[in-house]
Chain A
């Protein structure tokens, strides 16, 4: 049993058995979020003494002292479990809890669970109830998308979000790093992209060391960083620092001065993309890369005589989706050669075994149909459509995120297995560091339980409500500005502004 490769096919399975000194109590644990697969707890409770408490590696564990992930996690979880540790507590206990996991990633999830089991009585003493847990995620891909192009998010805001993601057992940070409004990624190969495409060339960029910091912070929390460089649409900001990359739009027979999607007819485009993606795939260690491919507006391509001539030459007729497919095929070839698996938004029609599709559009009826159709074609899919969390409404909209049934579409068991997970999307039109955290949490936590827990055990939204309320107070206690679900209070309210 060892720390295996990050992410992909490892199923972090773990069980947690706590055996400490017995002491009866009436306290009932509010529970763990997301709900573990199998959970038995009794009212027997054991006091925890911060002075005597420590995390240790089991003798038979493949990971031992100097395992960077667990050493860091022990330190982190100690202060999460004992937030106001003072040294005048009595020493009582001498028991042990054990946590077994196949990989360090499972151990991280187990530590999170353990930390949620600990509570304080009115006099400040820490307790944990006798508990046995056997747990694993329902879906292997549980992501959050942040959009750093429509508003720049300071690195601190990203790191804080990664912390909160780990508390809800999310494991993928989908970094929608660039888009039309700005290009904050500072490329080694093409520094002009950010020096002219970012909102500000010095203060509103992610340097290479910023990116490394995000990746290593995420790794320590067991979170993958999946970068998205969306093309050929959503690339206005790219054009500022890379001339001839975008298609010049025409009005009649003269260029109008505006630009459209990436120009798919020039060989220089693909040379540029090959170099950019070569850099990106070495900077981001994850084996997946998101290539976007959504919402390509054909009107500019249509206006451009060179593009039309190319269409003719290729025999595409007037079907610009063929041109789009031609372009995406070439980009997928570039990233495949770099040994990356590509994820694309569902708009890319040219189904391809090498890519995974990201479902983002439509009503429940239409996305279910899409799931059915795409899995039938053997495609692996990722569901985001019901979790566009940037859309806000008055009241408890988390209930809608909670009651999603990702596998409730018509298809065989084999088809269902092709749904590898889901993603909560926080698009940035109306979101920056001022309101990101309260808008994301605890609404995203509702989706987290749907993606982690057993659907039958978590079918009641009313039963989830008090647990989620309790969990949001835990988030607040940990310094996350998680907003309230409804009237009520937390023992420790948020003390910032």
Chain B
């Protein structure tokens, strides 16, 4: 698997390393040596905007440059996460050709920067760990002579700092690289900055998922919410229940994620500071589960006979919970993240209503005709099961709305309604003391003509009526790209750079709201993604120095 992973890395590096080019900053060269007050336009290459930036009009040439561990760093050459990142960013900045040539040992000029030292300051660098919602992602970057220094308490901050450093490098007309004297101090505004991809409505080949993890890192996203199964297909190959994908995937061999695939996604994400949170949505959205697991779904009735179709998970059978226990036990070992997303959205009650056994159960339990109580009964039992696996859980807002008893550290995922409705939902969830994250304004699968990123950029997850304490319960948000109309053919240009607008809202300070400045910076950022081999679509009529070459 390690070999396969290395091979993928190499492929990606080959595909992406195209070097950088900003024609916007060339003018600064003429002023080299003079130090002036910095203007906003000088942040033009940075996305998302760091918390504190100071760029001087003093530029350094980068001719023979290297990224090295600082002597004092707690993560040395044995930290492969960092070594991989150095190589990745070196190739983004300088391309591959130079690396292979012999290192020139010649005298460097006075305004030449030769080194970036990366210094992990805390005793535990977390190099071999997994990122979590409490990870320290902060970093400080100082670009000055004799060498640039990137200081971060943990490797996660160092990864973000490397991305920022790579964004500061620009090239002149003839490809010579420079960087200006810069001081940056940076940390994320929100801890949970996610992208949801849906691999059930359309199967997404591994390569597409990895390329998007790569792009997420360029945008400082840190959570990949993998909506891996749903009604349409079950591509997750379960070791405990192989029938689920054997019967429930679009194709049992070509349209599945094997355990090795899943491992690769998780490790690829980890190396980029990205958590992988899997979603196994129940009791609704489970049609594909039923194909490989008999008696799991509720048989629907028409009149007094089974109609042959099936509804949500059958909540009244003990076998259901036995299955869920085994299944989530597997999930908790396969996915290292502390959270698992349990779904719980859009449960359709008509099938439950039609089934006489369910009706009998409802009577026994004294639920009357209130099927929300039955849903709560199911979810409650499921949450107990997942609790025994020592995982925290995320759930869609309906579970909260329906009054299910939840553990205090449950994350409520808000996705419904218009602006007024989601803001009042955020207020309700936080006033009940729960942590929450927002997706409603960021359903990027919904497309329209024109620059819809404006709307995504303006939405702020803390804009609702509530106390400061309530606002602190908002841990972030997620951009969702549901898969009804999306597969490998159009996913990447539909996601980027629209998701980048969300990235800045979740990372940068609350007062970073100037849409014109954002347009200028985002245009450069999208061309940078294109230069790195990512087909990020244009914002408006324009050009990139290096246009997308893949077709």
B447 CB–A CB distance under 8 Å: yes
A8 CB–B CB distance under 8 Å: no
B-side contacts of A485, CB under 8 Å: 485
| A481: nearest chain-B partner, CB-CB | B489
Among the 9-residue stretches A17-25, A220-228, A354-362, A487-495, the one with 4 or more Cβ atoms under 8 Å from chain B is A487-495
B537 CB–A CB distance under 8 Å: yes
B535 CB–A CB distance under 8 Å: yes
Task: Report the minimal beta-carbon distance from A144 to chain B, rounded to whole angstroms.
Answer: 16
Write out, one digit per residue, whether chain A residues 465-497 have a CB within 8 A of any chain B CB (1) or not (0). Answer: 000000000001000011111111101011111
With contacts A393-B449, A489-B202, A491-B251 known, is A434 near B530, CB below 8 A?
yes
Whether the pair B201, A487 counts as a contact (CB closer than 8 A) is yes
With contacts A156-B551, A433-B551 known, is A493 near B488, CB below 8 A?
yes
Whether the pair A432, B548 counts as a contact (CB closer than 8 A) is yes
Report the bound CA distance from A496 to B491 in whole Å. Answer: 11
B534 CB–A CB distance under 8 Å: yes
Whether the pair B493, A435 counts as a contact (CB closer than 8 A) is yes
B-side contacts of A204, CB under 8 Å: 543, 547
Report the bound CA distance from A200 to B539 in whole Å. Answer: 19
With contacts A156-B549, A393-B447 known, is A489 near B492, CB below 8 A?
no
B-side contacts of A484, CB under 8 Å: 202, 485-487, 489-490
Instruction: Find residues 17-46 in chain A having any chain B CB closer than 8 Å to their own CB.
Output: none
Report the bound CA distance from A430 to B536 in whole Å. Answer: 11
Q: How many residues of B contact A (CB 8 A)?
A: 49
B10 CB–A CB distance under 8 Å: no
Write out, one digit per residue, whether chain B residues 522-551 have a CB within 8 A of any chain A CB (1) or not (0). Answer: 000000001001111111111101011111
Among the 9-residue stretches B40-48, B203-211, B274-282, B311-319, the one with 4 or more Cβ atoms under 8 Å from chain A is B203-211
Report the bound CA distance from A150 to B483 in whole Å. Answer: 30
A173 CB–B CB distance under 8 Å: no
B463 CB–A CB distance under 8 Å: no
B109 CB–A CB distance under 8 Å: no
| A436: nearest chain-B partner, CB-CB | B551
Whether the pair B447, A429 counts as a contact (CB closer than 8 A) is no
Whether the pair A483, B490 counts as a contact (CB closer than 8 A) is yes
With contacts A393-B449, A483-B490, A489-B255 known, is A496 near B550, CB below 8 A?
yes
Report the bound CA distance from A62 to B43 in whole Å. Answer: 67
Task: Report the minimal beta-carbon distance from A176 to chain B, rounded to whole angstroms.
Answer: 13
| A483: nearest chain-B partner, CB-CB | B490
With contacts A151-B542, A489-B203, A496-B550 known, is A435 near B537, CB below 8 A?
yes
Report the bound CA distance from A89 to B243 in whole Å. Answer: 33
B448 CB–A CB distance under 8 Å: yes
Instruction: Find residues 200-216 in chain A having any chain B CB closer than 8 Å to their own CB.
Output: 200, 203-204
B-side contacts of A430, CB under 8 Å: 449-450, 537-540
| B487: nearest chain-A partner, CB-CB | A484
Task: Report the minimal beta-carbon distance from A87 to chain B, rounded to whole angstroms.
Answer: 23
B-side contacts of A154, CB under 8 Å: 547-549, 551
Whether the pair A494, B487 counts as a contact (CB closer than 8 A) is yes
B-side contacts of A394, CB under 8 Å: 445-448, 485
Report the bound CA distance from A486 to B485 in whole Å. Answer: 5
A-side contacts of B533, CB under 8 Å: 497
**Max chain A Cβ within 10 angstroms of own Cβ: one of B211, B448, B548:** B548
**Max chain B Cβ within 10 angstroms of own Cβ: one of A199, A431, A432:** A432
A318 CB–B CB distance under 8 Å: no
Instruction: Find residues 402-433 in chain A having any chain B CB closer than 8 Å to their own CB.
Output: 428-433
Report the bound CA distance from A171 to B264 in whole Å. Answer: 45
B-side contacts of A486, CB under 8 Å: 484-485
Provide the main secondary structure of the chain A interface: loop
B-side contacts of A203, CB under 8 Å: 545, 547
With contacts A152-B547, A156-B551, A489-B255 known, is A428 near B535, CB below 8 A?
no
Q: Please pick, from A182, A395, A439, A497, the residue contacting B211 in the complex, using a CB distance under 8 A.
A: A497
Task: Report the minimal beta-carbon distance from B154 to chain A, rounded to whole angstroms.
Answer: 30
B-side contacts of A488, CB under 8 Å: 202, 232, 250
Write out, one digit per residue, whether chain A residues 184-205 have a CB within 8 A of any chain B CB (1) or not (0). Answer: 0000000000000001100110
A392 CB–B CB distance under 8 Å: yes
Report the bound CA distance from A151 to B548 in whole Å. Answer: 11
B176 CB–A CB distance under 8 Å: no
A-side contacts of B211, CB under 8 Å: 497
Provide the main secondary structure of the chain B interface: loop
B-side contacts of A181, CB under 8 Å: 541-542
B-side contacts of A182, CB under 8 Å: 543
**Max chain A Cβ within 10 angstroms of own Cβ: one of B201, B448, B489, B534:** B489
Whether the pair B547, A433 counts as a contact (CB closer than 8 A) is yes
Q: Please pick, from B250, B489, B493, B549, the residue contacting A494 in the complex, using a CB distance under 8 A.
A: B489
| A476: nearest chain-B partner, CB-CB | B489
B35 CB–A CB distance under 8 Å: no
Task: Report the minimal beta-carbon distance from A84 to chain B, rounded to whole angstroms.
Answer: 13
Whether the pair A483, B547 counts as a contact (CB closer than 8 A) is no
Whether the pair A489, B488 counts as a contact (CB closer than 8 A) is no
A95 CB–B CB distance under 8 Å: no
A-side contacts of B545, CB under 8 Å: 200, 203
B-side contacts of A497, CB under 8 Å: 15, 207-208, 211, 488, 492, 533-535, 550
Write out, one digit per residue, whether chain A residues 127-167 have a CB within 8 A of any chain B CB (1) or not (0). Answer: 00000000000000000000000111010110010000000
Whether the pair B487, A391 counts as a contact (CB closer than 8 A) is no
Report the bound CA distance from A200 to B203 in whole Å. Answer: 39
Task: Report the minimal beta-carbon distance from A389 to chain B, rounded to whole angstroms.
Answer: 11
Whether the pair A395, B485 counts as a contact (CB closer than 8 A) is yes
Q: Please pick, from A200, A395, A438, A493, the residue contacting B543 in the complex, using a CB distance under 8 A.
A: A200
Report the bound CA distance from A392 to B485 in whole Å. Answer: 12
With contacts A487-B201, A491-B251, A493-B205 known, is A433 near B548, CB below 8 A?
yes
With contacts A157-B551, A437-B551, A489-B251 known, is A432 near B538, CB below 8 A?
yes
Instruction: Find residues 145-196 in chain B having any chain A CB closer than 8 Å to their own CB.
Output: none
A-side contacts of B536, CB under 8 Å: 434
Write out, one digit per residue, whether chain B residues 344-378 have a CB within 8 A of any chain A CB (1) or not (0). Answer: 00000000000000000000000000000000000
Whether the pair B488, A432 counts as a contact (CB closer than 8 A) is no
Report the bound CA distance from A439 to B549 in whole Å. Answer: 17
Write out, one digit per residue, whether chain A residues 246-270 have a CB within 8 A of any chain B CB (1) or not (0). Answer: 0000000000000000000000000
Report the bound CA distance from A395 to B446 in whole Å. Answer: 8
| B448: nearest chain-A partner, CB-CB | A393
Whether the pair A483, B15 counts as a contact (CB closer than 8 A) is no
B233 CB–A CB distance under 8 Å: yes
Report the bound CA distance from A402 to B363 in whole Å. Answer: 52
Whether the pair A429, B485 counts as a contact (CB closer than 8 A) is no
Top 9 nearest A-B pairs (CB, nearest first) are A438-B490, A434-B535, A435-B493, A199-B543, A489-B250, A150-B541, A483-B490, A435-B537, A481-B489
Q: Could you list which residues of chain A lie within 8 angstroms of chain B, going by C-beta atoms?
A: 150-152, 154, 156-157, 160, 181-182, 199-200, 203-204, 390-395, 428-435, 437-439, 476, 481-489, 491, 493-497
What would 20 A/B residue contacts be, using CB atoms closer than 8 Å? Answer: A152-B543, A154-B549, A181-B541, A429-B540, A431-B537, A432-B547, A432-B548, A433-B535, A435-B535, A435-B537, A439-B490, A483-B485, A483-B486, A487-B202, A488-B232, A489-B251, A491-B251, A494-B487, A496-B550, A497-B208
Please give 18 more A-B residue pairs, beta carbons under 8 A apart, in addition to A432-B547, A433-B548: A151-B538, A151-B541, A151-B542, A182-B543, A203-B545, A392-B449, A393-B449, A394-B445, A432-B538, A433-B535, A434-B493, A435-B493, A482-B489, A484-B485, A488-B232, A489-B250, A494-B487, A495-B488
Q: Could you list which residues of chain B lie within 8 angstroms of chain A, going by C-beta atoms?
A: 15, 201-203, 205, 207-208, 211, 232-233, 250-251, 254-255, 445-450, 483-490, 492-494, 530, 533-543, 545, 547-551
